[in-house]
């Protein structure tokens, strides 16, 4: 078992990474919990909820299972309210603990529910997708979507613990593995060039979920994200670099309708566009752009962005929350392993959109 | 002008109290605000919004006015969403500032909207009722109601500043003055016996809104609440004493339907019940109970709780978030000026309910 320690002004907590962690979940539930709500979806719940319920009940906890409908299109206030309804109907008090068993959608919603229920209760993240394990379960960002924008309503709220069981990846569709690897390779691009090299060299082992390779990739990703988040919990500075590829990626998701592309797929493709923009604005070498494009392809993500029309692209990126005072800001790479956040000239953005979208 | 400084782990901010503060509001808007949303309701907005908009516009701010429907029955997620819709439609970014111009309902909703919009933007409280001036604008509690309980969904989130203009009280109905004075006298009961004495002696001047009396009462109330909140931002200990009368009061509001009694009226009546329970459990002298009853009457609040039936009363108090592990806890007074938080025996609670409700 590997443990990564995350420290932020909003709280410190451990991330446990290993095989068989689901069976040890009770260790991460605070002893004074008055009840535990196990929030999941039918897909993940069908595979793992019964075992987790049994583990928690054997440890003496009163457990309520709450199933939410599956998918990004349900990441909204209406679904969030299903959690509040169940907690209030079952008289969960301020010392209850929520457990998020599922992917990023479940994690974001349960985290936000924990942030808001009675103005804040404790929660434990049990991410079951690779994407959630290396990204959304670290750093305390929680949210739901609004019809006018993704993750527009949310909170910074830290979990009590994160439990990452690498065994659950075996039941994950290949497409979701690829989407998760997109975030893994992102850390190499923005902050750790040797890790980028390592990912290039181990891409086949990663896609095959070879135990040592995938465990190291998760641990290194969590360490890198934890480092960034500890420097900047509320995204006023350094943390923005984690959004590399996301301004383009969010536009893909919003433009096609949430749920068409997986979030990681959209980010993977968006990183190629952001690399192209980095070449145009900061002179990122063409060879580096092509290495990024090749690695995105090699992990199994799509590399051709959808043709939404340039004006629509710009419009979708405007509403993204990384704009300030109306000026479009991007995370760009001067070189692989280093990222900066800055505005980009409109014509450069248009040129990249025209070129990548028609490619 | 008087200033009270509030310090909490979540942030420090000033409360400015005086005549004509509305006209000086621009002083409290951060200089780097990209836009200002002035959120109000038709009643308060009709009286004061045009002037405030003019003041802010003259200071160079882009101002968007958002009117919410009036009343506690609209303090829900649907109404909150009207704020999010307007902010997103008008492309408000993370450096926008929200201004809450209204009573406690507006303050709680705008504060919660500020806590959640893009995971947190800045806001300024401009409370226009006496109740909001002495209570909900101090301490960072924000929330909306859920059909199963009041203030169940919310956040601890501190404003950047609070602006209290005593002039606006002149347009307030007498019933709302009484409801606000209920919270004022509460501070005397729980933490400041000399202030309780002062309120008894100045009750006529307070009801008549005599300038020096009402300004001192607001300032002293804010100081006392700020002291309590600074000791305990997240209500794990001392802060609970601020809920004196609230467990009974919330049951009145929920039992009759929100909006039938004003919150302050329900708390005023609830404080008499809590005083009776204090006599039964802690031996608060009968003379003190009668002083509390007399002062609640003298400020103009109802002193007879509605007959909801004892079982319904107990049920309504159970769902209140001050329960822990199913045990009913109350804020009780060993003497006027000192409060403790502790469980009360069921039979004592029943006896008080039977006696006060049939009175």
How far, in Å, CA of A169 to CA of A58, rounded? Answer: 25
| CA–CA min distance A294, chain B (Å) | 34
Q: CB neighbours of A182 closer than 8 A, spacing ≥ 6?
A: A131, A245, A264, A265, A267, A268, A271, A296, A299, A301
Q: What is the CATH topology of the domain spanning B174-357?
A: Dehydroquinate synthase-like, alpha domain (1.20.1090)
User: Is B38 strand, coil or helix?
Assistant: strand
A263 against B85, higher pLDDT:
B85
Same fold flag, A2-171 and A174-358? no
Q: Would the CB atoms of B154 and A119 count as touching at under 8 Å?
A: yes
Look at domain A2-171 and name its CATH class.
Answer: alpha beta
Report the pLDDT value the prediction gives residue A326, as an integer from 0 to 100: 59
Determine the pLDDT at residue B319: 65
Strand ranges in chain A using DSSP code E only, listed in sequence order: 2-8, 11-18, 36-40, 63-67, 97-102, 122-127, 141-146, 149-156, 161-165, 329-335, 338-343
How high is the pLDDT of residue B230?
84
- What is the band of A139 on the pLDDT scale with cuts at 50, 70, 90? confident
A41-56 pLDDT, tens digit each: 999 999 999 999 999 9
Binned at pLDDT 50, 70 and 90, residue B327 comes out as low
Angstrom distance (rounded) from CA A119 to CA B234: 9
* Type and span of the H or E element at A131: helix A130-131
The pLDDT > 70 percentage for chain B reads 96
Look over chain A and give the mean of its residue pLDDT values, rounded to a whole number: 93
Q: What is the DSSP string of A153-199?
A: EEEE---SEEEEEGGGGGGS-HHHHHHHHHHHHHHHHHH-HHHHHHH
Residues 49-78 of A with CB under 8 A from B: 77
Residues of chain B contacting residue A85, judged by C-beta atoms under 8 Å apart: 146, 148
CB distance from B318 to chain A under 8 Å? yes
Determine whether the interchain pair A91/B117 forms a contact, defined as Cβ–Cβ distance below 8 Å.
no
pLDDT, position B231: 84
Residue B283: pLDDT over 70: yes
The answer to whether the Cβ–Cβ distance between A34 and B115 falls below 8 Å is: no
Q: In the predicted model, is pLDDT for residue A136 greater than 90?
A: no
Predicted confidence at residue B254, as pLDDT, reads 87
Q: Which of A141, A186, A219, A220 is catalytic?
A: A141
Question: Residue B40: its pLDDT value, please?
Answer: 98
Catalytic residue check, A246: yes
Structure-derived torsion over alpha carbons of residues B184, B185, B190, B195, reported in degrees to the nearest 10:
90
* All structural domains of chain A with their residue ranges: 2-171, 174-358
- Residue A241: pLDDT over 80: yes
B321 → chain A, closest CA residue: A93
Round to whole Å and give the CA distance between A214 and A221: 10
Tokens of A220: 């290194």
Whether chain B has a CB inside 8 Å of the CB on A287: the answer is: no
Q: How far is A148 from chain B (nearest CA, A)?
A: 7
Tens-digit pLDDT profile for residues B250-266: 899 889 987 789 989 99
Mean pLDDT of B112-131: 97
Mean pLDDT of B298-321: 87
pLDDT score for A223 = 96
Nearest to B118 by CA among A196, A27, A274, A154: A154
The complex's ipTM works out to: 0.85
- Tell me the angle at which helices B286-298 and B193-201 cross, rounded to the nearest 10 degrees: 50
Best residue in B153, B236, B314, B323 for a mutation probing chain A (most A CBs within 10 Å): B153
Pinpoint the alpha helices (H) of B75-234. Answer: 77-89, 104-116, 130-131, 174-191, 193-201, 203-207, 211-231
Nearest alpha carbon to residue A42 among A31, A50, A34, A30: A50
Query: Which CATH entry fits the domain spanning A174-358: 3.40.50.10800, 1.20.1090.10, 3.40.50.2000, 1.10.3720.10?
Result: 1.20.1090.10
Segment 93-152 of chain B within 8 Å of chain A by CB? 93-95, 115-120, 141-143, 146, 148-149, 151-152
* Separation of alpha carbons B316 and B148, rounded Å: 10
Minimum mean pLDDT among A112-116, A166-170, A227-231: which range?
A227-231
pLDDT grade, residue A322 (50/70/90)? low
Binding-site positions of A for NAD(+): 70-75, 104-108, 128-129, 141, 150
- Mean pLDDT across B72-81: 93
The closest alpha carbon to A206, from A300, A135, A337, belongs to: A300
For A194-219, letters b (16+ CB in 10 Å) and e give: ebbebbeebbeebbebeeebbbbbbb
Q: Is B24 on the interface with A (CB under 8 A)?
A: no
């Amino acid at each position: 078992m590997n443990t990564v320690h995350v420290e932020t002004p909003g709280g410190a907590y451990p991330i446990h990474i290993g095989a068989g962690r689901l069976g040890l979940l009770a260790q991460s539930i605070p002893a004074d919990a008055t009840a535990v709500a196990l929030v999941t979806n039918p897909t993940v719940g069908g595979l793992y909820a019964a075992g987790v319920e049994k583990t928690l009940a054997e440890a003496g906890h009163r457990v309520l299972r709450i199933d939410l409908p599956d998918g990004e299109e349900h990441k909204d206030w209406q679904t969030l309210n299903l959690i509040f309804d169940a907690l209030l109907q079952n008289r969960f008090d301020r010392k209850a603990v929520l457990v998020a068993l599922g992917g990023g959608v479940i994690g974001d919603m349960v985290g936000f529910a924990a942030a808001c229920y009675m103005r804040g209760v404790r929660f434990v993240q049990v991410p079951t997708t690779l994407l959630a394990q290396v990204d959304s379960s670290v750093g305390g960002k929680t949210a739901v979507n609004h019809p006018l924008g993704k993750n527009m309503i949310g909170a910074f709220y830290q979990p009590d613990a994160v439990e990452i069981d690498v065994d659950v990846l075996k039941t994950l569709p290949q497409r979701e593995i690829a989407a998760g690897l997109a975030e893994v390779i992102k850390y190499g691009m923005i902050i750790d060039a040797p890790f980028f090299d390592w990912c290039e060299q181990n891409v086949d082992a990663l896609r095959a979920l070879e135990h040592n390779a995938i465990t190291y990739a998760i641990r290194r990703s969590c360490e890198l994200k934890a480092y960034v988040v500890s420097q900047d919990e509320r995204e006023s500075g350094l943390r923005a670099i984690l959004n590399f590829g996301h301004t383009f990626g969010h536009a893909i998701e919003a433009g096609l309708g949430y749920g068409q592309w997986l979030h990681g797929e959209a980010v993977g493709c968006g990183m190629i566009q952001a690399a192209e923009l980095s070449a145009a604005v900061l002179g990122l070498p063409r060879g580096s752009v092509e290495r990024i494009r090749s690695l995105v392809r090699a992990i199994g993500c799509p590399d051709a962005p959808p043709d939404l029309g340039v004006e629509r692209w710009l419009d979708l990126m405007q509403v993204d929350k990384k704009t300030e005072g109306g000026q479009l800001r991007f995370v760009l790479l001067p070189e692989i392993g280093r990222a900066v956040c800055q505005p980009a000239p409109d014509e450069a953005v248009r040129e990249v959109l025209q070129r990548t979208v028609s490619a």
